Amino acid sequence: MLRNTPTLLSGKLILGVDPGTNVMGFSIIEVSGSKVKVLEYDALSFKKAPNHAVKLKRIFDNTLLLIEKYLPDEMAIEAQFYSTNVQSMLKLGRAQGVAIAAALSRDIPYVEYAPKRIKQSITGNGNASKEQVALMLGQILKLPTDAPKLLDATDALAVALCHHYQKGINTQAGTKSWKSFITDNPGRVK
């Protein structure tokens, strides 16, 4: 269980969630203008829970604790991806649903992002590996070398940063040019 300690912050806060019934990655970023500060990111394990219902309850409870601790303005969550294993998809959908329900219970708006969109926004490649995403996040956000190495944690951080990048951008295909992307995102181009 997360500790529930009050925190005083300024700027817009985004809760990023990489849902899962065994491991849930989470992140909190603070956005002030174009500056992004990582406040926390980690992963919670539910592998020792006795059954699926208990895992879902723990996901809900821990999401609420994060909300109560940081009072985020928005939540970004990774959407389900297509899988041939229907049982896995159902379990992942339930995990996603209880995290969303926790946010809605506290009037926190949420946005879902497809895994390919998240990878594209961080690395420029929608087919990037989790390791490539983590490496790019380290460079973009100047993460310390002793930062969490769990890929679920960096996935959640990628979801939050993707949401920051997408906010206010018309995401309809073909409506934005590379020139307007560069103008809108000067810190992402080197």
| Predicted pLDDT of residue 108 | 96
* 128, 147, 40, 81: CA torsion to nearest 10: 20
Catalytic residue positions? 18, 78, 152
| Predicted pLDDT of residue 179 | 59
Residues of each annotated binding site:
18, 78, 152
* 0.85 exceeded by pTM: no
Structure tokens at 78: 């990774």
Instruction: Tell me the per-residue pLDDT of 123-132, one tens digit each, with 9 for 90 and over.
Output: 999 999 999 9
Structure tokens at 32: 């002030």
* Sign of the dihedral defined by the CA atoms of residues 19, 70, 146, 117, in that order: positive
**Rounded-to-integer distance, Cα 43 and Cα 134, Å:** 14
| Predicted pLDDT of residue 117 | 96
Place of tokens 């604790």: 65
The secondary structure of residue 106, as a DSSP letter, is T
| Predicted pLDDT of residue 34 | 84
Q: Give the residues of the chain that fall short of pLDDT 70.
A: 1-10, 82-83, 147-148, 168-182, 184-185, 187-190
Residues of each annotated binding site for Mg(2+):
18, 78, 152
| Predicted pLDDT of residue 1 | 43
Which domains does the chain possess?
Answer: 12-188 (3.30.420.10)
